[in-house]
Amino acid sequence: MILASFFLLSIGAHFTPCSEPFLNVSQRKNFTYCKKLTTLEAEFAWRINNEQQIEILFGTRLHTGFGWLAWGVNPDEMPQMVGTRAMIGIWNSDGSTFITTYNITSDTKMGCMLKPEKMDEKVQNEVGFHNMSMENINELDYFAIQARVILPPAAYNISKLNHVWQIGDEAEGTEPKMHAKTLQNVDSTETINLWVRDEAHHVGKHENHLRTVHGILNIVGWGTLLPFGVIIARYFKYPLENFHDWRIPLHVSCQIIGYILGTSGWILGLVLGNLSKFYIFKIHRLYSIFIFTFTTLQMLALRLKPGEDDEYRKFWNMYHHFLGYALLAVISINIFHGINILKPNDTWRQAYIGILISLGAIVTVLEIYTWTKFKRSPKPTASAQAGISATGLEVPQPRP
Ligand code: HEM
Ligand code: HEM
Ligand code: HEM
């Protein structure tokens, strides 16, 4: 399943050209290359004057109608916010506008005021931004910034250029304020070969596919098979006692497959977390560590479960039941959390809600069936009784 997903998804990995209207605007302005960036619905066009000089146009929507738009380059090994030399166009809510350059440092990331800073390519390894301009592209409802960028060859190479983009909703005069921290906002960097029209290594290009696989494995493994296994353990005892003999083998098989798929998804999550070195989703990570630890504990039942007649079996049952149900709750919270981080189209949420509704419907029908069967039957069936004596668990008893 994992290999198949990788295969299908890698086929889908390709360059995304610009939208028709942005392409028209860029061609009107004599830009020769144009591509859609992977996040923030941004689009990027460029023209190479020579190895050290490029013209760039960067545009996207600002949903509130004002805020700021930033584009910059980073001389480090990997593209990231800190160290980026950027130009930022600001549309203030009072109607004033500014476009100027900023040096983004670790102090900025810690919340210190981001002040304009003059940049000059004549200073060693410094980037030059010239002919900067900003505009609203009305036909597209886009805001855009444009400049000629001079890149010192000692620090930048246009066939392997780290570029970084960002948008924010708030600004005060020439000071842009903190941007949102969604995946779209933190995954807004890539290393690009400006010579090649359709080749750009985006940090999130392969990651996006891995994220999809991660989500699917987790939803199927933790989110579907584990609860299904619990339903089997619960209802094959009563009222579906005809399947009693299948109860534990099916429960255990379901949980083992669910655990293997879920753990693969979890490991993929850790790999993704490691690949994106400059940001972290703490709560999602904490929940997932909890889930992995305690499902592993549940799985130890394979070897460490007390025998049916053991005096501790009663307590093991209580612990196994309590932890099992608690895990189901945390898993569904974390799945919604993951979907919120990924912010894909609504299909994911709808699909998972669909799975929850189906599992809920099965449980409701079986609960109703349990109670009607229990009310009608004068005595519990032999196998249900066997279930009671074997486990010591409470099963509905017929009224005297
Ligand atoms: C206005 C001042 C800014 C502040 C206070 C700020 C603050 C932050 C913070 C706190 C994070 C970490 C988020 C997390 O780990 O959850 C972050 C991430 C990020 N920011 Fe900013 N930021 C600012 C401006 C910018 C600008 C202008 C750019 C782009 C040119 C940018 C690009 C990024 C990127 C790409 C990340 C992802 C992590 C990384 O690369 O370090 N930020 N920012
Ligand atoms: C993450 C994995 C697992 C979860 C979440 C889980 C959860 C549960 C839950 C909630 C129940 C109680 C159902 C009910 O009657 O209401 C249950 C029952 C049971 N589970 Fe698991 N389980 C897991 C793995 C395992 C494994 C690996 C075994 C291996 C032997 C196992 C053996 C049992 C047994 C024997 C029962 C029946 C207890 C009784 O007699 O009522 N479970 N499980
Ligand atoms: C119970 C199920 C899940 C577990 C155990 C889990 C586990 C993880 C882990 C360990 C990480 C790495 C966190 C970090 O170090 O920053 C992660 C990241 C992530 N997860 Fe999940 N996850 C689950 C469900 C989901 C779902 C259903 C989705 C989306 C549909 C999802 C989307 C993401 C995304 C987008 C990231 C960020 C990747 C990145 O940093 O680039 N997760 N997950």
In the chain, ranges of CATH 1.20.120.1770 domains: 205-391
Report the Cα–Cα distance between both ends of the chain, in Å, rounded: 52
pLDDT at 49 over 90: yes
pLDDT at 380 over 60: no
CA of 78 to the centre of ligand 1 (A): 15
- Backbone φ, ψ for residue 149 (5° rounding): -115, 130
Place of tokens 């600002």: 62
pLDDT at 12 over 70: no
Compute the distance between CA of residue 262 and CA of residue 303 in angstroms, rounded to an integer. Answer: 20
- Give the range among 42-56, 180-194, 268-282, 372-386 with minimum mean pLDDT: 372-386
CA 356 from chain centre, in angstroms, equals 20
pLDDT tens, 175-215? Answer: 999 999 999 999 999 999 998 876 544 544 678 889 999 99
CA of 269 to the centre of ligand 3 (A): 5
- pLDDT for position 63: 86
pLDDT tens, 65-78? Answer: 899 999 999 999 88
Whether the Cβ atoms of residue 186 and residue 279 lie closer than 8 Å to each other? yes
Q: Which region holds residue 319: left if phi is over 0, alpha if psi is between -120 and 50, else beta?
A: alpha
Whether the Cβ atoms of residue 330 and residue 320 lie closer than 8 Å to each other? no
Q: What is the CATH number of domain 14-198?
A: 2.60.40.1210
- pLDDT for position 7: 47
pLDDT at 172 over 60: yes
pLDDT at 110 over 70: yes
The atom number, within ligand 1, closest to the CA of 112 reads 5
209 known ligand binder: no
Nearest CA to ligand 1 atom 32: 81
pLDDT tens, 253-303? Answer: 999 999 999 999 999 999 999 988 899 999 999 999 999 999 999 999 999
Residue with the bigger pLDDT between 18 and 368: it is 368
The atom number, within ligand 2, closest to the CA of 391 reads 40
In the chain, ranges of CATH 2.60.40.1210 domains: 14-198
- pLDDT for position 302: 94
Work out the average pLDDT over 358-369. Answer: 96
| 205-391 CATH choice from 1.10.20.10, 1.20.120.1770, 3.40.50.1370, 3.40.50.720 | 1.20.120.1770
- pLDDT for position 238: 85
- Backbone φ, ψ for residue 359 (5° rounding): -65, -40
Work out the average pLDDT over 12-33. Answer: 81
